[in-house]
Amino acid sequence: MNAPFSPAAPAARDALLAALKFDGAGLIPAIAQQHDTGEVLMMAWMNAASVAETLTTGRVCYYSRSRKALWRKGESSGQVQHLIDLRLDCDGDTLLLLVDQQGVACHTGRRNCFYRAIRDDALVNIAEPLMDPEALYRK
Amino acid sequence: MNAPFSPAAPAARDALLAALKFDGAGLIPAIAQQHDTGEVLMMAWMNAASVAETLTTGRVCYYSRSRKALWRKGESSGQVQHLIDLRLDCDGDTLLLLVDQQGVACHTGRRNCFYRAIRDDALVNIAEPLMDPEALYRK
C-alpha cells in the first residue's frame, strides 16, 4: 500500500461515497493513522466533498466544524497528510485513513493528539511538543 | 503500559471526566487500538458512565446508540476488550483506548471493522472473517 498515490477511479469513488453513512450534519468521523508505524495521529470529520477531494488529490482534506469549511490539513501549518489508503468500517459510519504525516499532526506541536492520560493519581501529558505551536501558525 | 490493570484513582478518574467534551447527546467517540500491534480495531461511542465503568473495571464498556444502553464489549459475543491505557486528545473530544482484544472486534467475525477499501476500480473487502458471525451471537 506504499505505492505512489493515484486518484481513485470515479466509479470506485462513487461506490465508496454511496456506502458512507453521514450523520445528521452530513459528516463522518475519520481516524488518521500513520501508515508505517501504526501511530494513531488524530480524529477529525469529513463531509462528502472532502472525501471526494481526498480520493482525487491524495492529500487529506477534512471538514472543519468550527470554520464550517473544507480543511486541507496543513494549509496553515504546513503539516500535510498524504493519503496511503482509505478504509471504511462495517457499518459505513467511520473512516480509517492510512496517511503519511509530514511533521506533526497536532496543533500543539505534538506528533499526535492523544497525549493526555492517567498516570498514578492524575491526568497528565505523556508527550511533549516536537515543534513550537507558535511557529506552526506564524507562517 | 502492559502491567496488570489497576482501577484509576477516583481523583484521576474525575479529572479525566471533567476534561471530556461530550457532544449534544452526551457522547464522545472512542477509538480502540490493539495495544501491541497498533491495529485500529473499531470506533464506538462512550458516555460518562461507560468511561467511569471502564476505568474502574478495566473491561471496555461503550454506549450503544441503537440500544440506548451501556454496552459491555463482548457481553453477547464473548469478544472482550481489556483496557491497557485510555488517552484523551488535545481538544478533549475524542478518546483513544489501547486494549487487548480477545478474539475479534468486528461483529462480522473480522479482527477489525475497517475491511472495506478501494482496489483498482471497485470498493472491495480486504479482509476475511476469522470467526463465523452466526457462532459469535448464538451463545
Question: Mind listing the pLDDT tens digit for each residue in A10-52?
Answer: 999 999 999 999 999 999 999 999 999 999 999 999 999 999 9
Q: Using a CB-CB distance cutoff of 8 angstroms, which residues of chain B are in contact with residue A31?
A: 31, 40, 43
Q: What is the pLDDT of residues A95-112, one digit of tens each?
A: 999 999 999 999 999 999
Give the number of other CB atoms < 10 A from CB of residue B47. Answer: 19
Contact B115 A87 (CB under 8 A): yes
Looking at residue B5, its pLDDT comes to: 81
**What is the pLDDT confidence band of residue B138, given thresholds at 50, 70 and 90?**
confident
Q: Which helix (H) or strand (E) holds A133?
A: helix A133-136
β-pair type (B95-101, B28-34): parallel
Provide the grid cell at B15: 479529572
Confidence of residue A114 (pLDDT cuts 50, 70, 90): very high
Q: Find out whether B95 and B28 touch, Cβ atoms under 8 Å.
A: yes
| Measured CA angle at B21 (ends A112, B17), to 5 deg | 95
* CA nearest to A32 within chain B: B40
Nearest to A108 by CA among A125, A91, A84, A87: A125
CB A110 within 8 A of CB A128: yes
* Residue B77 sits at the chain A interface (C-beta within 8 Å): no
A50: enclosing H helix or E strand? helix A48-57
What average pLDDT is seen over chain B?
A: 95
Specify the amino acid at residue A135: A
Closest Cα in chain A, distance from residue B120 (Å) = 7
- Give the global pTM: 0.96
**CA distance to partner chain B, nearest, from residue A17 (Å):** 10
Q: Which of A17, A55, A91 to mutate to test the interface with B (most CBs of B within 10 A)?
A: A91
Tell me how far apart the alpha carbons of residues B30 and A126 are, in angstroms, rounded to a whole number: 19
Nearest-angstrom CA–CA distance, B40 and B112: 7
Q: Does B24 touch chain A (CB under 8 A)?
A: no
Distance CA B35, CA A57 (A): 32
Interface probe, candidates B35, B45, B89, chain A, greatest A C-beta count within 10 A: B89
Q: Is A15 on the interface with B (CB under 8 A)?
A: yes
The SS3 call for residue B14 is: helix
Chain B residues inside the 8 Å CB shell of A12: 118, 120-123
Could you give the 3-state DSSP secondary structure of residue B91? coil
ipTM for the predicted complex: 0.96
CB B18 within 8 A of CB A9: no
Closest CA to A95 of A20, A34, A40: A20
pLDDT in tens, B51-104: 999 999 999 999 999 999 999 999 999 999 999 999 999 999 999 999 999 999
- A20 contacts A12 by C-beta, under 8 angstroms: no
A24 and B CB contact within 8 Å: no
C-alpha cell at B62: 461503550
Q: How far apart are CA A130 and CA B50, in angstroms?
A: 33
